[in-house]
Structure 1
Amino acid sequence: MYFTEKQLRIMEFIQQFRDERRISPTLEEIASNFGVTKITVYEHINQLERKGALKREKFRARSIELIATVEERKSRYSMPLMGNFREGLPIEATEEREDLNISEMLPYGRNFFALRVRGNELKHDHLTDGDLIIAEKRESVHNGDVVVAVLNGGKACIKKIYREEDHIRLQSPNGSMESMMVPNADVRGVVVGVLRRFDEASTG
């Protein structure tokens, strides 16, 4: 289940409030903490209730109860790592059970965003229609980072970036195409991964 950053912050506040005072906060107390209206909090609480994150008794103050702690919810983003795969060979099972923690790969609190690939123009970089590019907004970008950049005229691209003396060199991530030399580029984020749903791709 996906939670927005604001929803996670509200759940963390509720959890901290209950831990410290042994009672649940009222909607007014939540609103006061975040500097928003009671109506805004009411809408967030309704969404969290629909998502199964909390329960409450209507018309009763201080009845909000988290179904699982925020830390427990974060730790659920994991899956078993079954082994190593190489085409044409048996799967090499790991000696001990190992869980792949998705929340460690995409830590909570970092400034991630996603872009959906449309079209197959990026096939040379192994990106196909429907893929989700996961990028992170960062204050600093290093030479060799794969970035989402917007050039003059609004043209967007995904390239390795190299800042050189009087220009910026943008190179295909796998080096299959000629480099581009541009005077400047608006870097929107650093690419950290790609998600692909084969079931959606096969039905698209």
Structure 2
Amino acid sequence: MNLTPRQLDVLVAIRNYRHLHGYAPTMQELADQLGTSKVTIFEHVGALERKRVLRRDKHKARSLEIIADELLPDEERSTKLPLLGNIAAGAPIEAVENREDLDLETMFHSKHGVYVLRIRGESMIDDHLCDGDYVVIERRENAKSGEQIVALIDGQEATLKRFYKESGGKVRLQPANKSMEPRVLEADRVKVQGVVIGVLRSY
């Protein structure tokens, strides 16, 4: 796309923000995320508009839209892994008759959109979600009691917990760690940002 490294950073930041929130960032949010000034962001966005990879409605705060056909550099790797067979403890591998691929993007596809977060801490360890694991999140604003969710508390603190509806207009955010206490909060203080649909772990 003939972009500078900083222009690529801006595009990646816009894409990631849209995946996480479901809408585009403001210029100030982009500046804060990239550690630069709002004026500099306006300059980069203007250059990206001229290169026809970004579109913006000057009368709307959250109108940034990536329109380039090419993939961004971090999207060019394949999400497919070879699927060679089935295995059970104590039995030989049952080979797959025809060569198949396990496509992670297809496996975790959702019409609502998905994104991945890396876990930090051990508050969900009893659910086998460990520090360093990657959780696949389906972007949703509603959850059922018992689901593992990404919760945004008071618009500032993001946390991964099990979600339960309580009486009196409250919700309980339950850690999966016997040494930690749940948090019971007014429902309007908690915004559901997504629900866990998968976990990835490397050794």
- 1:155 is displaced (CA, Å) by 5.8
- 1:147 is displaced (CA, Å) by 0.4
Whichever of the two has the greater Rg, that structure is 1
- 1:149 is displaced (CA, Å) by 1.7
Residue 192 of structure 1 is matched in structure 2 by 197
User: In structure 2, what is the Cα distance between the partners aligned to 1:31 and 1:154?
Assistant: 34
1:87 lines up with 2:89 in the alignment: yes
Q: What SS is found at the alignment partner of 1:83?
A: strand
Greater relative contact order (CA < 8 Å, ≥ 6 in sequence): 2
| Partner AA of 2:87 in structure 1 | F
Residue 31 of structure 1 is matched in structure 2 by 52
Percent of aligned pairs sharing the same letter: 37
TM normalised by structure 1 equals 0.50
Matches within 5 A, 1:147-158: 147-151=149-153, 156-158=158-160
Q: 1:127 aligns with which of 123, 126, 129?
A: 129
- 1:108 is displaced (CA, Å) by 8.5
Matches within 5 A, 1:63-82: 76-82=78-84
TM normalised by structure 2 equals 0.50
- 1:52 is displaced (CA, Å) by 10
Q: Specify every segment of 5 or more residues in structure 2 that has no aligned partner in the other structure, as ranges.
A: 1-10, 16-47, 58-67
**Cα separation, partners in 2 of 1:163 and 1:126, compared to 1, 3 Å:** same
1:168 lines up with 2:189 in the alignment: no
| Paired residues of 1:124 and 1:176 also in contact (CA < 8 A) | no
Q: 1:183 aligns with which of 181, 186, 194?
A: 186
User: In structure 2, what is the Cα distance between the partners aligned to 1:155 and 1:195?
Assistant: 24
User: In structure 2, what is the Cα distance between the partners aligned to 1:168 and 1:127?
Assistant: 22
User: In structure 1, what is the Cα distance between the partners aligned to 2:89 and 2:112?
Assistant: 35
User: In structure 2, what is the Cα distance between the partners aligned to 1:85 and 1:152?
Assistant: 46
Residue 106 of structure 2 is matched in structure 1 by 104
User: In structure 1, what is the Cα distance between the partners aligned to 2:166 and 2:191?
Assistant: 15
Q: What SS is found at the alignment partner of 2:91?
A: coil
User: In structure 1, what is the Cα distance between the partners aligned to 2:121 and 2:103?
Assistant: 31
C-alpha RMSD of the superposition: 4.5
Residue 138 of structure 2 is matched in structure 1 by 136
User: In structure 1, what is the Cα distance between the partners aligned to 2:178 and 2:88?
Assistant: 24
Residue 118 of structure 2 is matched in structure 1 by 116
Give the number of equivalent residue pairs.
147
User: In structure 1, what is the Cα distance between the partners aligned to 2:104 and 2:93?
Assistant: 22
Residue 65 of structure 2 is matched in structure 1 by none
| Paired residues of 1:81 and 1:97 also in contact (CA < 8 A) | yes
Q: What SS is found at the alignment partner of 1:162?
A: strand
**Cα separation, partners in 2 of 1:152 and 1:88, compared to 1, 3 Å:** farther
